[in-house]
Structure 1
Amino acid sequence: MDSRRAWWVWGSGIFAYLVAITQRTSFGVAGLQATERFDATAAALSTFTVVQLVVYAGLQIPVGLMVDKYGPRMMVAGGALLMLAGQTALAFASSVPEGLIGRILVGAGDAMTFVSVLRLLPSWFSAKRIPLLTQLTGQLGQIGQLISVIPFVAILNLAGWTPAFLSVAAMSALAFVLALAVVRNEPAQLKKPLPPTLRQTGASLADAWREPGTRLGLWTHFTVQFPANVFMLMWGYPFLVSAQGLSPSAASALMTVAVLTSFVAGPLLGGWVGRHPLRRSTMVLLIIGTMSAAWLCVLLYPGPAPFWLLLLLVMAVSVGGPGSMIGFDFARTFNPLSRAGTATGIVNVGGFISALLVMFGMGIVLDALLASGFSQGELYALDSFKLAFSLQFVFLIGGTLAILTVRKRVRTRMSHGGVIVPPLRDALARERRRQRERIRERRGSGGSRRG
């Protein structure tokens, strides 16, 4: 545990996930060019990302089962190979059907990566490190977004569509080589368990779903992650440039701020979860409230929002990425290692189902408003985008109600096991008393040294 080899294995897995994020987000920042290349409507354009996410979400549970059965090494390598094929196909696509084939392959390869990398952690690291490493896995992977919004966009603008997508396809080739050369399922000295039988696999899936902690993780991921996905993967860039009137460089800068905010928030949330495991759902609800308030301010602002308000919106939404990782911590702590991949796959379905529903729904709303004349002939009009983004609140409210319902069941089961979650008011009062005691102790020890 925690050996030098463990860090090399984890680092190679991180690179594979970084590459997956690059492949996932590259199409979103190429949305305007894709509209021209494929002569696509807003609904058709959203189909590219929606189909990719349908494949991603649909494969999460099968991938989780396969990770538990065959190990993460094979899954990471296979995912990189599929993404290489998908981005290469998209690089040469000239029609919507050809492009969709590429995105299906990318979605399948992407689906195999994240769950597999998380599955490496319990085998290579001690339990005390895992909450922070889980957050770091998610946040370091977001460097892929920076690659999409800076070098990829630069290549896209300077060299064109095909060279840009071939350049990110080459990254998948490198991830494939590293997975085979460096990644191992577990340390050599550990006894490898026998692969589960088909009946055991089915029982593992049923047990993982019956566990209320798994469903709490699912609804956490469902509610917290989709605003960031919708903004970063599909509609954020057109909203900032075409509706809000920002320059492409200013929009790219805000996208970069989103990634940097995730980098800062991830370790902070990971450390907080490690110190306050009984308050994870409270933090989830606070993040949901913050994102909702930021969107309300932007959508209700008359006319284009000022840059500072858009900056606050991007920062609030980007916290949803690391915030959704708390869902995986629920899956880890409420399930045994033997079904960790399966439970993680169930949780990972949530945010991508909500994201694809919101993305596609927004495309339908934008097209309907254009056809009705509301947009006055401009597909990405500001008022049209405001109505389309309002669709998010249906999922934010519904997800919050589901979290509160399942959390009650989780806490009931915990109480039967002797673990009582005190009211938040009492917990905060106890924490204030501890802080005052620590201050008095430091003052007392300082006085003793002076004496």
Structure 2
Amino acid sequence: MSLRVQQMLGYTLLSAAFFIGFFHRFAPATFAEPIARTFDVGSTALGGLASMQFWVYTLMQIPAGVIVDRYGIRVPASVGTALVGIGAAVLALAPSFALAMCGPALVGFGMSIVFVSVMKNNAIWFTGQRFGFITGCTLLTAAMGSIASEAPAALLLRISAWQPIFLALSVLSLILAALLASFWRPPPAEDCGQLTARNKKERTKIFGTIRSVIARPQIWLIMLAISGTNGTFYAFAGLWGTPLLVHSFGFERDTAALAMTLSLVPYGLGSLFLGQISDKLRTRKAFIIAASGASTVAWVWLVSAGSATPVVAWICFVLLGLSSSQVVASFAAVKESVPDEATGTALSLVNMGVFLTTAIVQFGYGWLVASAGTGSTITGDLYRIALWLPAAISIAGLLGALKVSETFPREQHQNQPANTQMAIRGQLQPPYRDGD
């Protein structure tokens, strides 16, 4: 099998697993009502079920990064994809709500490993100048999974119960796990340069890698910025967006679901094109700041919209989806801010912050709306006023984005002196200051 075929086959299989993971991530917005009817639970329990995947996913991010940095991609990615399949089956076949909670937990566990595996695969198989583009393609695939979980899944529910849909996803995930175990291969040592040899030497320095990543202010600033855009958007695209549009902006339920679906389109397409543009312009910081600013404007606009027309709300969510596409620039900046052997750990730490934000907003927003209501009365104004929670997080993200240091694809430094190359790889003090 040629190197090109190995590269694209491994990428395709991992992207397919990523697609399924994003379907699960945003599925609660569509499947909430039939699941609630099946288990006879209320909104509070349903919110706990929806957020379970995010809590486990968040807690597993650093362990998942360490696992992939330590053991490579093939076995962890295969096991993670299998866990996603098992989790989907557990949810579909659970005889009680308590057991059903284990399903999303297993999905979150598996997807934490799949995410790191996907990003690590991109980092070792694709050059730095193409990393932004291939990450954009990956996130476009993920966005397609999100879109499939909204309006298309709602159409499936018209002809099928929700359980067969999740069982079909389970079977597909298990097949993908077997294919990954059989066909994924790393690049040969000569194509990885010093990366493969260094990884073998560094595998015993797990805690040193974690300390090195945690000690970098750049990583925390990127985490804050991406949490303000993607963490807040995911919380609403995955659960609260449709109720907000229905109760506060007068959408019909089907129209609201379609509006949320359309907001995911610029997220996917923006990820693809922003990756290409960021690679060509050799800048990450400009896109991170612009996206954080757009997200802040959209959330504040929604809070202050009052009796604005549904068109205004739709424009805001499209803007939120587009601003979330800056994740490509953020992930590229993370990769360019740490040594190669710490890429998995650094990406998992940043991603942990994003989904911790999502879990907090999903729970916190629901609590604010419910606690501000009088008895069982929850007005549309309460749904809107509680938006100050994501708005405040987005503002904090913008402040963090302003302090992010610029990074560039490493290949442009290949002809520089050895000490400069070492600085770029994170072994010496980098030649910039935070905020430059």
TM-score range, shorter chain: 0.7 to 0.9
Give secondary structure in 2 for the equivalent of 1:246.
Answer: coil
Q: Deviations over 1:222-254 (max 9, x none)?
A: 222112211111111222334434234322322
Superposition pairs of residues 136-147 of structure 1, within 5 angstroms:
136-147=137-148
Residues 19-72 of structure 1 show CA distances to partners (whole Å, capped at 9, x for unaligned) of 111122212321233333334343332212322111101111111111111111
Aligned CA RMSD, in angstroms, stands at 2.9
Letter in 1 for 2:396: G
- Assess if the C-alpha contact under 8 Å between 2:17 and 2:81 holds in 1: yes
Per the alignment, residue 186 of structure 2 pairs with 185
Matched, 1:313 2:316: yes
Q: Which residue of 1 aligns with 2:230?
A: 225
Task: Give the AA of the match of 1:136.
Answer: C
1:83 and 1:105 in contact (8 A); partners too: yes
Structure 2 vs 1, CA of residues 364 and 196 (structure 1 numbering), >3 Å: closer, same or farther?
Answer: farther
Q: What CA deviation, in whole Å up to 9, does each residue of 1:80-103 have, x standing for no partner?
A: 111111111111335432221111
The match for 1:341 is: 344
Whether 2:259 is the aligned partner of 1:254: answer: yes
1:369 pairs, out of 372, 386, 411, with 372
1:66-85 to structure 2, matched below 5 A, reads 66-85=67-86
Q: Conserved in 2, the CA contact under 8 Å of 1:35 and 1:45? A: yes
Task: Determine if contact 2:222/2:404 at 8 Å carries over to the other structure.
Answer: no
AA in 2 matched with 1:322: S
1:266 has 2:271 as partner = yes
Number of the residue aligned with 2:129: 128
1:290-338: CA deviations, max 9, x gaps? 12222333332233x4232232122111124321232211211011211
Q: How far apart are 1:420 and its partner, in Å? A: 8.4
Q: Partner letter of residue 297 of structure 1? A: W
Question: Equivalent residue for 1:63?
Answer: 64
Please show how residues 380-419 of structure 1 align to structure 2 within 5 Å.
381-405=379-403, 407=405, 417-418=430-431
1:323 is matched by which residue type in structure 2? Q
- For 1:384, what is the secondary structure of its paired residue? helix
Which residue does 2:293 correspond to in 1?
289
Query: What is the distance in 2 between the residues matched to 1:26 and 1:237?
Result: 12
Deviates more, 1:348-357 or 1:219-228: 219-228
- 1:235 is aligned to 240
Alpha-carbon distance, 1:169 to partner: 2.1
- Normalised by the size of structure 2, how large is the TM-score? 0.86
The aligned counterpart of 2:302 is 298
Cross-structure match for 1:111: 112
Residues 290/190 of structure 1: CA separation in 2 closer, same or farther (3 Å cut): closer
- 2:347 aligned partner, one-letter code: T
TM normalised by structure 1 equals 0.83
Cα distance in structure 2, aligned partners of 1:406 and 1:393:
20
Residue 443 of structure 1: aligned partner: none
Choose which of 327, 331, 337 in structure 1 pairs with 2:330.
Answer: 327
| 1:202 partner amino acid | F
Secondary structure at 2:257 match in 1: helix
SS state of the match for residue 335, structure 1?
A: coil
Contact 1:266–1:323 (Cα < 8 Å) also in 2: yes
Residue 10 (structure 1) aligns with = 11
The answer on whether the counterparts of 1:48 and 1:103 sit within 8 Å (CA) in structure 2 is yes
Measured in 1, the distance between the counterparts of 2:103 and 2:34 equals: 16
CA contact (8 A) 1:332 1:344 kept: yes
Partner-residue secondary structure (3-state), 2:362: helix
Equivalence for 1:359: 362
Structure 1, unpaired ranges of 5+: 424-451
Identity of aligned residues (%): 23
TM-superposed CA distance for 1:204, in Å, is: 0.9
| Runs of 4+, deviation exceeding 4 Å | 188-192, 194-199, 405-408, 413-423
Match of 2:280 in 1: 275
Contact in 2 for aligned 1:220/1:326 (Cα 8 Å): no
Q: Residues 32 and 46 of structure 2 are in contact (CA less than 8 Å); yes or no, is this contact kept in structure 1? A: yes
Distance in 2 (CA, whole Å) between partners of 1:182 and 1:103 is: 27
Change (3 A) 1:102 1:219: same
Indicate the residue corresponding to 1:200 in structure 2. 205
Name which of structure 1's ranges 337-346 and 246-255 shifts more when overlaid on structure 2. 246-255
Q: Which amino acid aligns with 1:275?
A: K
For 1:359 and 1:2, how far apart are their aligned partners in 2? 43
